[in-house]
C-alpha cells in the first residue's frame, strides 16, 4: 500500500450479509424477499475522535419471494444489485454506524407457466435496470478483539421504478484484515 493511502485507510474488511425486505405486492399484501450480499469496506480516519469513515462496495443477489401465485403463471423476479456506500462508524464498545448507498439493480423477469400448456409470447424473458439509493443504520458488535464485527442493520430503500420495497433489515458479519489503528 502506498504511503498516502496507508495514512488514510486504517483497515479493510470483507463482509457477508443477509437482508430481508417486505415487498408490497398490492395495497394489502406484502411478500418477503431475501437478499444475500458480499461487501468490501475500508475504514478511514476522520478529524473527530472515535469517528471513522467507512466506504465500500456491495454485490448482492435477490432471492425468490415467498409470494403465492396461480399454478399456471408467475412473473419470476430475480436480480443482482451493486452498491457504493459511504458513511461513518463510531468507535466504542459497540459500533453504531450510518451510511448511504447508491444502488444499481439488474433484474431478470421471466414469465413462468410451470409446465402448463399456456402458449407464451416469444419474449417471455427480459431484463430491466433500476437505480436508487438507501440509507442504512447499524449497530456493530465487535468480537474476537474487534477482528470480527456482527452488525444488525436497517435500511430505507428508495428505488423509484420499484417502490414496492421501501425498507430492508438484516445482519452482516465482517472480518477485518487489520485492527483499527488509533
> Between 2 and 144, whose beta carbon lies closer to other proteins?
2
According to CB under 8 A, which residues from 136 to 155 bind other proteins? none
DSSP-assigned beta bridge partners for residue 165: 23
CB closer to other proteins out of 66 and 178: 66
Of 8-67, binders to other proteins (CB under 8 A) are 8, 24-29, 44-47, 53, 55, 67
* CA-wise closest residue to 100 among 41, 61, 152, 156: 156
Cβ–Cβ < 8 Å for 84, 101: yes
Distances (CA, A) of 97 to 100, 153, 154: 10, 9, 11
Q: How far apart are CA 38 and CA 61, in angstroms?
A: 9
**Residue (1 or 71) nearer to other proteins, CB:** 71
Judged by beta carbon, residue 59 or residue 158, the one nearer other proteins is 158
Q: Which stretch binds other proteins (CB under 8 A): 13-21, 56-64, 106-114, 171-179?
A: 106-114
Alpha-carbon distance of 126 to 173, in angstroms, equals: 34
Is 129 an interacting residue with respect to other proteins (CB under 8 A)?
no
Burial 9-20 (b: 16+ CB within 10 A, else e): bbbebebebebe
Q: Does 163 bind other proteins (CB under 8 A)?
A: yes
Is residue 117 near other proteins by the rule CB under 8 A? yes
What is the rounded CA–CA span in Å between residue 64 and residue 146?
Answer: 34
Residue given cell 406484502 in the structure block: 30
List the interface residues with other proteins, window 58-87 (CB under 8 A): 67-75, 77, 86
Residues that bind other proteins (CB under 8 A): 7-8, 24-29, 44-47, 53, 55, 67-75, 77, 86, 88, 100-102, 109, 111, 113, 116-121, 123-124, 126, 128, 131-135, 158-164
Amino acid at each position: 500500500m502506498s504511503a498516502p493511502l496507508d495514512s488514510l485507510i486504517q483497515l479493510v474488511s470483507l463482509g457477508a450479509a443477509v437482508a430481508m425486505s417486505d415487498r408490497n405486492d398490492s395495497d394489502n399484501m406484502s411478500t418477503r424477499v431475501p437478499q444475500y450480499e458480499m461487501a468490501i469496506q475500508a475504514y478511514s480516519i476522520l478529524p473527530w475522535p472515535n469517528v471513522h469513515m467507512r466506504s465500500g462496495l456491495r454485490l448482492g443477489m435477490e432471492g425468490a419471494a415467498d409470494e403465492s401465485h396461480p399454478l399456471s403463471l408467475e412473473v419470476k423476479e430475480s436480480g443482482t444489485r451493486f452498491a457504493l456506500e459511504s458513511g461513518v462508524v463510531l468507535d466504542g464498545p459497540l459500533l453504531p454506524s450510518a451510511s448511504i448507498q447508491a444502488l444499481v439493480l439488474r433484474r431478470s423477469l421471466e414469465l413462468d407457466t410451470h409446465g402448463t400448456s399456456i402458449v407464451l409470447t416469444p419474449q417471455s424473458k427480459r431484463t430491466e435496470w433500476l437505480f436508487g439509493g438507501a440509507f442504512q443504520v447499524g449497530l456493530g458488535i465487535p468480537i474476537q478483539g474487534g477482528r470480527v464485527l456482527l452488525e444488525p442493520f436497517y435500511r430505507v430503500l428508495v428505488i423509484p421504478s420499484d417502490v414496492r420495497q421501501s425498507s430492508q433489515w438484516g445482519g452482516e458479519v465482517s472480518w477485518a484484515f487489520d485492527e483499527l489503528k488509533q
